[in-house]
A and B are shown apart, each in its own frame.
Chain A
Amino acid sequence: MLMVDTTKNTMIYTTWGSRNAKPVQPLVAAKLISKAKRPLLVIGADALDSDVINKAIAIGKKGLQIAATGHSMQGFKDQDVNAKYVNIHFLAHYLGDKNWKGLDGQGSYDLVIFLGHKKYYVNQVLSGLKNFTDIKTLAIDRHYLQNADMSFGNLKPEDHLEALDELISNL
C-alpha cells in the first residue's frame, strides 16, 4: 500500500523547456538507487533545517557515498557515513568531465541523487547535467524538479519525510 503518493503534484511555475522529470514513487526511487553501480547522494545545506538531515544520514548508512554541499557537512560530523564536502557548482563541473576520478578516486558516478537544496539552485545544477552529461539524476526533495531525470512531486514537509522513510526502508 502506498503511504505517500509522490507523483501527484508536478506543478511548475516556469519552464526550462519541453523536457520534464518523470515523477517517481519512493519505492521506484529506492530500486533505482539499489540498482545503480556508482550512486552519489548529494545533500544540500537546507537538509540541516529539518529532520531531512537524519534521513540523509540513514541513507548514507546504507552504504551510499555522500557529497555534502553548502555546509551540510556539519550534519555528518561524527556520524558513521562516507561524506565529503564539495561545492555543488564545482561538482556539476567535475561530473561533466569523463576523466574525473570521483570524490573517492574510484571513478565518476552513474546515478546522482539530490536532497536538501534550494529549489531554484539545484534546478540550475540539474539543467547543466541534463544538457551536457549522460549522468542519470534523481531528485528526492520536496519540490518537483523539472530538470532531473526523475523527481518526487511537490510535497508538504511532513509527507516528504514519510516518503523518505519509505525510500530508506526499501534500500
Chain B
Amino acid sequence: MSKITTGKFSLEDLENVQITINNIVGAIETKAEEEGVEMGPTPKPGISSLRNWDYKLLSRYQPVYTPVCDQCCYCTFGKCDLGGNKEGACGINMEAHQAREFLLRVITGAAAHAGHGRHILHHLIEKHGGDHPINVGPSNLLAPNTQMVTGIMPKTLGDLEKVMDYVEEQLTQLLATIHVGQEGSSLDFESKAMHGGMLDHVGMEVSDLAQISCMGMPKSDPEAPLAEIGMGCIDSTKPVLLVIGHNVAGVTYIMDYMREHDLDDKMELAGLCCTAIDMTRYQTDKGGQPRAKIIGALAKELKMIRSAAPDVIIVDEQCVRADVLDEAKRLFIPVITTNEKIMYGLPDRSKDSADKIIEDLSSGKEAGALILDFDLLGEVAPRLAMKMAPIREAKGIKSLPSDEELKTLTASCVQCGACELVCPNNLPIMNAMTAAVAGDITKFEKLHDHCIACGRCDPVCPKGIPILNVIEKAAQRAIREEKGKMRAGRGQISDPEIREEGVNLVMGTTPGILAMVGCSNYPEGTKDLYTVANEMLQRNYIVVMSGCSAMDLGMYKDEEGKTLYEKYPAKFLAGNLINVGSCVSNAHITGTAIKVAAIFAQRNITGNYEEIADYIMNRIGAVGVAWGAYSQKASSIATGCNRLGIPVIVGPHGSKYRRALIGKPYNEEDWKVYDARNGEEMPIPSSPEFLLTTAETIEELMPMIAKNCIRPSDNNMGRMIKLTHYIELSQKYLGHLPEDWYKFVRVETDLPITRREELLKILEKEHGWEIDWKRKKIISGPTMKLDVSAQPTNVKRLCKESVC
C-alpha cells in the first residue's frame, strides 16, 4: 500500500469531492525519522506521561498550602468549610482543594497565553499564509519548548497550528479535572498543574515565534533599540492614543495607518502592559526605531486614565481593568475594544464606515465601539484621536483636583483608617494626609510609587475624598520625572550565543541567570527591581527581563542619569542585561535552558522532556523572580519553570497563590541523586532549596538568589564564585554569615579566595573539620566530593544499564 501523506486530495471519477488529511497517526515520529532526528519517549505527553517526574520533584519539594479561603463553593452540595483540612460533602479535603485551586490558576494563565497565541497565529496565517517561514534569528533550534514537549520541529506558521491543537486539547483535559468528583489526590492535582505550566510555555512560544516572524520584531538581536518609558515621557499637548493589553495584532494596523498618513510626529501612541512592549518591537528588526512609547504596567492603568491625557483608549486582552469604559466615559474618552475577550457591552461596529463611527464617538452619542476588523480599526483609532483632542481641550476636561482643592481635601481627612484597611498594601494614607496639610508632599510621592492604583480606597472614605486622585495630584512633580528607557524585546537567545556561554553556565563560572519576570504588584514600589538587577549585574549574573518587570526596570537611572539598559550590554554573557520581550517571550527563558542542554551538552531534546528537565535541574543555575506577580499567568509561567527544575521566587503577595513548593534541607535523604556513570547515589547540595516560594523583602531575596544558583555540576571555580556571592550578599543585606554556607564546601578551593583562611578556621572550630594548615587543605569534613565528571541525575533509567 502506498504511504498516505497530509494534504488535500481529489478522487478520480468523483466530482466535487475533496479529502483533506490533517493528521496521521505516528506522523510526528515519521517526520522526525525522515529528518534524522531521534524521537524521545514522550512526544505530546498526556496528563500522566510525565507523572513520575512530577512525583520526583514533589517528593523533594513538598507543596505548602496557605489557603486564601477556608471554604469551597464549587458545587451546590456546598458551600463546604474545609478548615483544618476537613473534607467537603464530595469528599475532597482542604489540601486537595487547594491543589485544585492552584491548578485552576495555572490553566487559566496558560489558556490566556494559548488563547492569545491561537488568535495571533490565526490572524497571521490569514495575512501571510500557512507557508510563511518561522524566522527568529540565527538559530537552527527554532522552537525549543515546542520540540522538547511535542516532538514537532515547526518550520512554518502552518506547523504551529498543530502545536496549538495539542496545547488546547490538553488544557481542556486539565480543565475537566477541576469539576466536582474528579481527582482526589493533592499530589495528582499538583502533577496536573505542572502539566499546565509546561503547556503554557509551549503556547507562549508559539505566540512569540509567530509575531517575531511576521511583524518585523528583533530577531535575537542584542542591539535591539531603546524605547521611551514612563508617564513623564508623554507629550499631552499632542493627541494621545492609549493602548492597553497584551495582543498587538490590531495595533499594528494603527501603526501602519499612522505611518502611511504621516501621523507619527503629530500624535502620541502610548501603551500599557505587554501590547506596549510589542509595539516597541514592531518593525524594528532592520534598524527601525520604536514608534510608540510605554507608560508602564497595570499599576499605571487607572493613574493614566485619571490623568485625563488619553484622547482615545484602545483595549485588546488580558490585565485590562474591567472599569476602563466607566472611568473613560467620565472624562469623555472614547473606548474601542478590539478583541472578543473584552467587549464591555459595546455595539459591534466592525461593518460600519469609519466616518460614521468617528462621528458617533466624537459627538458622545456612543461611549465606545467594538471593532474587530483591523483595517477599520487602523483608520478609526488615529483619526478619532486627532479629532477628539481639540474637542476635549475645548471642554477643559480634567479629573485631578486643583492645588486649592488638594489643600481642602487633605485637610478634611478625619484619620478614620478606613482607607488603610481596604488598601491591599495597607499603605500609610493617613500619615500622608497629615503631612500634606503641614506642607510636606513627599509622603504622597512615595505613596504614588507604592500604590497600585486599584481604586479600592476611594469609595470607603466617609469624607468622600477621591484618594487616588489626591495621591496623583500631590505626586505631579514625581510623575513628570518618570522618564526612562527600555531595550525593546530581542526575542530568543540564539544558538551561537548558547555555544559561547553554555560552558560557563554549567561549570558555574558565570554565577547564574536571574530571570526577572511578571507583573507589578510589588510590596515596596517599582525601585526594588532596579536595586536587585543592579546588584546582580555588578556581580556578573546574566539578568534576563520580560513583561512588566522589563518595563519597570527602565524607570530608574543611576547618578549619571543612565538606565540599566543603557549601562549594560545585552548579549547572552555574564554581566549582561537582556530583555526578551513581552509576557509570551517568557518561553525564551525556559527555551534558553533547553538550548543549553541541546547545543552545549548535545542532548536530544525532541519529545524528551524528562531527560532535559533533569539536565537543567542539576546543571543550570537559573532562578526566576516574579517580584510583583499577581496574575494567573504568572503562576503558570512559574509552574512551567518548576517542571523543568528551575526555581522561582515571588514577592510576598505571591503567598496568595495558595501554595509553594519547598524542600527540607535538614532531611539529608532528600538531597541525593544518581551518578549516571555508574548508578551510585551521590549527595548533592540543597539547592535549589525550593521550586516556588516567597521572599519578604529584596534584602532577603538577593542572598536567596545567589544561593539557589548553586548546582551539583559547579566546578571549584564556579562554586567559589557562587559561594562568594551568597556569603557577601548575606552579610551585606542580612548582616550575618549564613548558617549553612559550609554545607556547600567540597574542597578548600570552593572557598572564597580572599577569605579562605578565616573560613577554614571556622570550619575547624565550629564544624569540627580537619584542616592541614601547612598546605591549607581540608582533610576531612565535607559530605560531598568535588568530581566534575560526575553525571548527576534524578532519573534511574538514564544511568548506565549495567548498574541500574
Q: Could you list which residues of chain A lie within 8 angstroms of chain B, going by C-beta atoms?
A: 11, 13, 16-19, 44-45, 69-71, 73-74, 77, 84-85, 87-90, 92-94, 96-97, 99-101, 117-121, 124-125, 127-128, 130-132, 143, 154, 156
Q: What are the 3 tightest A-B residue pairs by CB atom distance, in nearest-first order?
A: A17-B70, A70-B696, A71-B699
- Is B695 in contact with chain A by the CB < 8 A criterion? yes
* Nearest B residue (CB) for A155: B417
State the CA gap A90–B708 with chains docked (Å).
Answer: 14
Contact, CB under 8 Å: B734 / A71:
yes
Which of chain A's residues have a CB closer than 8 A to the CB of B695? 70, 87
- Give the segment of B77-85, B336-344, B620-628 that binds chain A: B77-85
Contact, CB under 8 Å: B662 / A88:
no
Cross-interface CB contact of A132 among B65, B421, B523, cutoff 8 Å: B65
Q: Closest approach, in angstroms, between the C-beta of A143 and any C-beta of chain B?
A: 7
Which of chain B's residues have a CB closer than 8 A to the CB of A117? 696
Contact, CB under 8 Å: B664 / A93:
yes
Contact, CB under 8 Å: A77 / B70:
no
State the CA gap A131–B97 with chains docked (Å).
Answer: 13
Contact, CB under 8 Å: B68 / A124:
yes
Contact, CB under 8 Å: A45 / B69:
no
Interface string of B675-716 (1 = CB under 8 A from A): 000000000000001100111110110001000000000000
State the CA gap A124–B84 with chains docked (Å).
Answer: 14
- Is B434 in contact with chain A by the CB < 8 A criterion? no
- Given the known inter-chain contacts A85-B736, A118-B523, A131-B94, please indicate yes or no for A70 contacting B699, CB distance below 8 A: yes
Q: Closest approach, in angstroms, between the C-beta of A80 and any C-beta of chain B?
A: 15
State the CA gap A124–B655 with chains docked (Å).
Answer: 6
State the CA gap A127–B62 with chains docked (Å).
Answer: 17
Interface string of B657-685 (1 = CB under 8 A from A): 00010101011000000000000000000
Contact, CB under 8 Å: B67 / A16:
yes
- Given the known inter-chain contacts A70-B696, A154-B421, please indicate yes or no for A85 contacting B739, CB distance below 8 A: yes
Cross-interface CB contact of B66 among A11, A74, A87, A128, cutoff 8 Å: A128
* Nearest B residue (CB) for A11: B421
A-B contact pairs, 18 of them (CB 8 A): A13-B422, A69-B696, A70-B696, A71-B734, A85-B736, A90-B662, A90-B689, A90-B693, A101-B666, A118-B426, A118-B523, A121-B655, A127-B68, A131-B82, A131-B94, A132-B94, A143-B426, A156-B417
Which of chain A's residues have a CB closer than 8 A to the CB of B696? 44-45, 69-71, 87-88, 117-118, 121
Which of chain A's residues have a CB closer than 8 A to the CB of B133? none
* Nearest A residue (CB) for B702: A71
- Is B350 in contact with chain A by the CB < 8 A criterion? no
Q: Could you list which residues of chain B lie within 8 angstroms of chain A, going by C-beta atoms?
A: 62, 64-71, 81-85, 94-95, 417, 421-422, 424-426, 523, 652-653, 655-656, 660, 662, 664, 666-667, 689-690, 693-697, 699-700, 704, 733-736, 738-739
Which of chain A's residues have a CB closer than 8 A to the CB of B660? 89, 93
Which of chain B's residues have a CB closer than 8 A to the CB of A121? 523, 652-653, 655, 694, 696
Cross-interface CB contact of A73 among B425, B426, B735, cutoff 8 Å: B735
Q: Closest approach, in angstroms, between the C-beta of A149 and any C-beta of chain B?
A: 12
Q: Closest approach, in angstroms, between the C-beta of A115 and any C-beta of chain B?
A: 13
State the CA gap A90–B95 with chains docked (Å).
Answer: 18
- Given the known inter-chain contacts A93-B62, A131-B85, A132-B65, please indicate yes or no for A87 contacting B734, CB distance below 8 A: no
State the CA gap A143–B695 with chains docked (Å).
Answer: 21
Which of chain B's residues have a CB closer than 8 A to the CB of A73? 734-736
- Given the known inter-chain contacts A13-B422, A84-B739, please indicate yes or no for A120 contacting B94, CB distance below 8 A: no
Cross-interface CB contact of B693 among A45, A87, A99, cutoff 8 Å: A87
State the CA gap A100–B736 with chains docked (Å).
Answer: 23
State the CA gap A117–B653 with chains docked (Å).
Answer: 12
Which of chain A's residues have a CB closer than 8 A to the CB of B71? 17
Which of chain A's residues have a CB closer than 8 A to the CB of B70? 16-19, 127, 131
State the CA gap A89–B62 with chains docked (Å).
Answer: 12
Contact, CB under 8 Å: A74 / B735:
yes
State the CA gap A156–B426 with chains docked (Å).
Answer: 13
State the CA gap A125–B68 with chains docked (Å).
Answer: 10
Contact, CB under 8 Å: B424 / A131:
no
- Given the known inter-chain contacts A45-B699, A71-B699, A85-B734, please indicate yes or no for A124 contacting B417, CB distance below 8 A: no
Contact, CB under 8 Å: A92 / B652:
no
Contact, CB under 8 Å: B64 / A120:
no
State the CA gap A171–B736 with chains docked (Å).
Answer: 29
* Nearest A residue (CB) for B704: A87
Q: Closest approach, in angstroms, between the C-beta of A73 and any C-beta of chain B?
A: 4
Which of chain A's residues have a CB closer than 8 A to the CB of B738? 85
* Nearest A residue (CB) for B655: A124
Contact, CB under 8 Å: B94 / A89:
no
* Nearest A residue (CB) for B95: A132
- Given the known inter-chain contacts A11-B421, A18-B70, please indicate yes or no for A94 contacting B664, CB distance below 8 A: yes
Cross-interface CB contact of A154 among B65, B417, B655, B699, cutoff 8 Å: B417
Contact, CB under 8 Å: B421 / A18:
no
Q: Closest approach, in angstroms, between the C-beta of B727 and any C-beta of chain A?
A: 13
Contact, CB under 8 Å: A120 / B656:
yes
State the CA gap A92–B63 with chains docked (Å).
Answer: 11
Q: Closest approach, in angstroms, between the C-beta of B435 and any C-beta of chain A?
A: 14
Q: Closest approach, in angstroms, between the C-beta of A137 and any C-beta of chain B?
A: 13
Cross-interface CB contact of A127 among B66, B95, B690, B704, cutoff 8 Å: B66
Cross-interface CB contact of B700 among A18, A71, A101, A130, cutoff 8 Å: A71
Contact, CB under 8 Å: B64 / A89:
yes
Which of chain A's residues have a CB closer than 8 A to the CB of B699? 45, 70-71, 74
* Nearest A residue (CB) for B82: A131
Which of B67, B84, B425 neighbours the largest number of chain A CB atoms within 10 Å of its CB? B67
State the CA gap A156–B420 with chains docked (Å).
Answer: 11
Q: Closest approach, in angstroms, between the C-beta of B421 and any C-beta of chain A?
A: 5
Contact, CB under 8 Å: A118 / B652:
yes
Taking A96-B64, A124-B68 as given, write out 8 further A-B residue pairs in contact, using a Cβ cutoff of 8 Å, ordered by the A residue number: A16-B67, A89-B64, A89-B660, A118-B425, A118-B696, A120-B652, A131-B82, A131-B83
Cross-interface CB contact of A125 among B66, B689, B734, cutoff 8 Å: B66
Contact, CB under 8 Å: A89 / B67:
no
Contact, CB under 8 Å: A13 / B62:
no
Which of chain B's residues have a CB closer than 8 A to the CB of A118? 425-426, 523, 652, 696
Cross-interface CB contact of B426 among A87, A93, A99, A119, cutoff 8 Å: A119
State the CA gap A69–B689 with chains docked (Å).
Answer: 17
Contact, CB under 8 Å: A89 / B655:
yes
Cross-interface CB contact of A70 among B66, B422, B697, cutoff 8 Å: B697
State the CA gap A19–B70 with chains docked (Å).
Answer: 9
Contact, CB under 8 Å: A89 / B693:
yes
Which of chain A's residues have a CB closer than 8 A to the CB of B424? 120
Cross-interface CB contact of A17 among B69, B662, B689, B734, cutoff 8 Å: B69
Contact, CB under 8 Å: B736 / A19:
no
State the CA gap A159–B82 with chains docked (Å).
Answer: 36
Which of A101, A117, A125 neighbours the largest number of chain B CB atoms within 10 Å of its CB? A125
Which of chain B's residues have a CB closer than 8 A to the CB of A87? 693-696, 700, 704
Which of B84, B652, B696, B739 neighbours the largest number of chain A CB atoms within 10 Å of its CB? B696
Which of chain B's residues have a CB closer than 8 A to the CB of A85? 734, 736, 738-739
Contact, CB under 8 Å: B735 / A127:
no
Which of B71, B83, B424, B690 neighbours the largest number of chain A CB atoms within 10 Å of its CB? B83
State the CA gap A130–B666 with chains docked (Å).
Answer: 24
Which of chain B's residues have a CB closer than 8 A to the CB of A90? 662, 689-690, 693
Which of chain A's residues have a CB closer than 8 A to the CB of B704? 87
Q: Closest approach, in angstroms, between the C-beta of A148 and any C-beta of chain B?
A: 14
Which of chain B's residues have a CB closer than 8 A to the CB of A97? 664
State the CA gap A99–B690 with chains docked (Å).
Answer: 19
Which of chain A's residues have a CB closer than 8 A to the CB of B65? 128, 131-132
State the CA gap A119–B417 with chains docked (Å).
Answer: 15
State the CA gap A84–B94 with chains docked (Å).
Answer: 32
Which of chain B's residues have a CB closer than 8 A to the CB of A74? 699, 733-735
Contact, CB under 8 Å: A131 / B697:
no
